[in-house]
Structure 1
Amino acid sequence: MSAVMPTASRPVPAAGFDVRRFVVRFGLFFLLAILVVVFSWLRPSFASAGNVTDILRSASISAVMFLGLTWIIAAGEIDVSFMSVAALSTMIIAGLVSSGFGWPVAVLVALSAGVAVGLLNGLLVAGMGLPALVITIATGGLAGSVAAAIGKGTSIPMATTGFVGPIVDADLGIVPVIAIVVAALYAVAWVLQDRTTFGHYIYAMEQNRRAVVEAGVRANRILMMLYVLSGTLSAVAGALLAADLSSGQPYIGTSYFIDGLTAVLLGGMALKMGKPNVIGTLVGVVLLAVLLSGAALLGWTDSQRQIVRAALLIAGVALVVWTRRKTRAHL
């Protein structure tokens, strides 16, 4: 008769307030508040109604562009074509409007181009299993090249902003109407992300895609949808930028590359501890808009602003990777 040795049960940690976890989850919110207070103190004009409106308007357009990217990274993939799709959208609209076409037709063609790039990314990455970074670099380069070809390497001015202009320019007090629309869009996205199985599948794909597929979930179809969504939203952001700038800009996407990755990865620390999420991205976008506005008022050079952006991106990547390793080590 064999003896059975008793096994010591692992002690359960006592429930209590975890200061470190709280700081990590809500640190981005604190940083945003600190930046607002500091810039308002150093430059009182920072808190003026006009500047607040400009910050919210620019942040809203960026937020539209980065929403699809958030879920792609949350699913464990990458898309670096989003900013080139936005640039292509501005050039398609400017080119068609300057040629006599109406804004509805121009916007429809631009959105179709965004869907096409997203579908191409999805087919190659999700359908054929090709590496997302290489593919989206290639498709982004293609979109950027087409954008440059439309204007022969230069911007295209527009005499009218069509029906999109009033949407971009309308304000409700100091709050742009577009900011209210984007807030509603992100609220819907939050519900899909945190309150539906669709959102759960996105995060499960990053953790173990094979297990998701074996569970009967069509992970490739979900990933393809995410790429199409990213391309479409980038094209929408391009239409808003075209109206805001009254022109098509073939190289405008470059300035959004670091901002997009920084907002998503740094925002991944907010609330979900290393998991990119829509609320974190929205806070990250506003933080970057506040930083850009405050730095301009303080007279920072473009190189100084780029250094700060790069530092925030490095911090975001490091924090997300560190948090994911810590989380998986305790599973």
Structure 2
Amino acid sequence: MTEISSPMRPQMSFAGFRTIGRWWLLLALIASLFAFAAGRPQMLDGGNIVTILRSASIMAIMVLGLTWVIAAGKIDVSFMQIAALANMTTAGLLAQGSGWALAALCGIAIGAVVGLVNGVLVGRMRLSPLITTIATGGVCASAAAAIGAGTSIRIDDTGLLGDFLAARLGPVPLIALFVAALYAVAWWMQERLTFGHYIYAAEQNEEALVDVGVPVHRLLVLVYLISGVCASVAGVLLAASLSSGQPMIGSSYFIDGLTAVFLGGMMIRIGRPNVIGTATAVLLLAVLVSGGALLGWPDYQREIIKGALLLAGVAMAVRMGRALDGFARGGRS
């Protein structure tokens, strides 16, 4: 028995570490929710849960495309300013008497154009993704401010989009169910289609993909285009949610967006951004914001915790990767 069980232990330990490494963020989400509830029972009130899901849903849409940009080994720091520009474009057109359909389509089209520009500059012209998206983000921020002359634009009627955001199916907001379906489709694309495989391969070895005939430049254009569209859709939804256009709204989503994607990369595919990890991290951040508000934490404390959470996630991923390698070698020996 000793000779049989001894070589089995590394394999069992390896499986245990792999399971913990893949799902630790979900466990952290559940633990955080109940930890806040222990201090403030209203954390689990139906109204508060609805608020958490609604705010997390909009953020999840905003960073869905960003997840794939970073998974491909690139960066996009213009996503939040694209959302702000789409937000102000929608509000500005509504203020001029346009209907919601036209205003929303124009806001989304603006995001698509900026995403396409980012993709062409990075994917085809091979410019630095960081410098490129800093520049386009700056242009978007300036344009958003110019639309409202530096001030917000009030929206008197949020229309059908406002009704959609307020709607529930039982206790669950309809927008949360829509986002869950959207992420399920995105997961299928990421895991089952060559599109998803090429994204991760591009991060590993872009030149090798080019050598075998994969049009990497088109792939990069596409992921930046998706990022721009997702950010602009979130901006339009924020216009209906806040009943206003806010030119400075992008700054509040910068840290949260990047944290969600990088922290989400510490789950499922350890060290590699993925949509399920991003969705879980977005929920974790929403719980942190809500719980911190109920406990009376000032904003700076919540920002410190978010930064610490990101660093802890990266440290855990590195440590877990080393442990997994060690168990794998032990299992093979």
TM normalised by structure 1 equals: 0.92
Q: 1:306 to 1:266 in 2, by over 3 A?
A: same
Conserved? CA contact 1:265–1:320, under 8 Å: no
Query: 1:1-331, aligned counterparts within 5 Å?
Result: 15-18=11-14, 19-319=16-316
Q: 1:57: Cα distance to partner? A: 0.3
Name the SS for the 1:77 alignment partner. coil
Q: 1:326 to 1:115 in 2, by over 3 A?
A: farther
Q: 1:160 to 1:172 in 2, by over 3 A?
A: same
Amino acid in structure 2 at the alignment position of 1:149? A
Amino acid in structure 2 at the alignment position of 1:247? S
Separation in 2, partners of 1:221, 1:322: 35
Separation in 1, partners of 2:318, 2:249: 30
Conserved? CA contact 1:258–1:313, under 8 Å: no
Separation in 1, partners of 2:42, 2:9: 50
Separation in 2, partners of 1:221, 1:12: 46
Q: 1:213: Cα distance to partner? A: 1.0
Q: 1:172: Cα distance to partner? A: 1.4
* Structure with greater proportional helix content: 2
Separation in 1, partners of 2:78, 2:253: 11
CA RMSD of aligned residues (A): 2.1
Q: 1:196 to 1:313 in 2, by over 3 A?
A: same
Separation in 2, partners of 1:305, 1:324: 28
Conserved? CA contact 2:77–2:130, under 8 Å: yes
Query: Which stretch shows the higher mean deviation, 321-330 or 246-255?
Result: 321-330
Conserved? CA contact 1:82–1:140, under 8 Å: yes
Separation in 1, partners of 2:310, 2:24: 15
**Structure 1 unpaired stretches of 5+:** 1-10
Q: 1:323: Cα distance to partner? A: 6.8
Q: 1:169 to 1:153 in 2, by over 3 A?
A: same
Aligned length: 321
Name the SS for the 1:16 alignment partner. helix
Separation in 1, partners of 2:322, 2:123: 25
Q: 1:13 to 1:43 in 2, by over 3 A?
A: closer
Conserved? CA contact 1:274–1:319, under 8 Å: no
Q: Write the deviation string for residues 121-145 of structure 1: whole angstroms up to 9, x where unpaired.
A: 0011001000101110110111011
Amino acid in structure 2 at the alignment position of 1:28? L
Pick 1 or 2: higher relative contact order, CA cutoff 8 A, min separation 6: 2
Separation in 2, partners of 1:321, 1:154: 44
Q: Write the deviation string for residues 11-68 of structure 1: whole angstroms up to 9, x where unpaired.
A: 9995323233332221101110110111111101110000000000000000000100
Q: Write the deviation string for residues 146-165 of structure 1: whole angstroms up to 9, x where unpaired.
A: 00111111111111112211
Q: 1:207 to 1:326 in 2, by over 3 A?
A: farther
Q: Write the deviation string for residues 290-315 of structure 1: whole angstroms up to 9, x where unpaired.
A: 01000000000011111111222333
Q: Which residue of 1 aligns with 2:3?
A: none
